[in-house]
Amino acid sequence: MKFLVFLGTVRDSTPPRPARLGARVSDALVTCLQRRYGEHDVELVDAMDFSPSPVFKPHFAYPEGKAPSALNQLAEKIEAADGFVMISPEYNHSMSPALANLLNHFGSSLYSYKPSAIVTYSAGQWGGMRAAVGMRTFLSELGCLPVSAMIHVPKAQDIFEADGSVKAGEKQEAWFDYFGRTINQMIWWAQAAKEHRDQVNPHQLVKDFKRNPSQRNAP
């Protein structure tokens, strides 16, 4: 199966230090996935690689084939994916605006009927768990329902080096075991959803929202 790992931070300035703390977490997650789940295809999607346009225009607002190539390519990857790992810092008790902005460029039909895993981190003691609560609602609305187990990494700068390896005194296998609880749930649901999608096309069973909000209205 194919999984996309979204790194949802674009802050590369300081303070606080170190800059781009989330990159350490994403590198550790990707390494865990590659080493323990090598039978699956894993790709990192970094919000930093998608510079925000001055006027927000989502992928689905363009005529077919007319969207910027970077958006087209990412749309194809999202549609082909079987599940998603969403990594976010916590800003004012909320998820990263950069992550929400990037995900909102694509229609929910590309994410729907696939699971997601929530990963949050912080430089402080809470590990971003308050942001994770809001992410459940956001991801559910996209249709990529988050699994129950979540990953929280408090004081990430004290755990991971700049390349994602663990610092002296930390045990990499213990962290990978912790990651594995969430990843195993995601893979289980992804496999179940994939097998059922192959038998029943959910987009035929429940029509996708295509034109205007009235399509969702009660009669």
**Is 131 inside any structural domain?**
yes
Give the CATH number, domain containing residue 60: 3.40.50.360
**Is 88 inside any structural domain?**
yes
First to last CA, the chain: 40
Backbone angles phi, psi at 118, to 5 degrees: -100, 130
- The token pair at 108 is 């929910």
Is the CB of residue 25 less than 8 Å from the CB of residue 160?
yes
**Is 167 inside any structural domain?**
yes
Burial environment of residue 13 by CB neighbours within 10 A (0 to 12, 13 to 18, 19 or more): exposed
Domain range holding 148? 1-214
**Is 219 inside any structural domain?**
no
Is the CB of residue 86 less than 8 Å from the CB of residue 26?
no
pLDDT string in tens for the chain (219-residue length) = 999 999 999 988 888 788 899 999 999 999 999 999 999 999 999 999 987 776 688 888 888 888 888 899 999 999 999 999 999 999 999 999 999 999 999 999 999 999 999 999 999 999 999 999 999 999 999 999 999 999 999 999 999 999 999 999 999 999 999 999 999 999 999 999 999 999 999 988 887 776 676 777 777
Q: How many domains does the chain have?
A: 1
**Is 180 inside any structural domain?**
yes
Burial environment of residue 118 by CB neighbours within 10 A (0 to 12, 13 to 18, 19 or more): buried
5: left (phi over 0), alpha (psi -120 to 50) or beta: beta
Q: Which amino acid is at 82?
A: D
**Is 112 inside any structural domain?**
yes
Distance CA 84, CA 99 (A): 13
65: Cβ–Cβ under 8 A, 6 or more apart, which residues? 72
**Tokens 């599940």 found at:** 83
What pTM value is reported for the model? 0.92
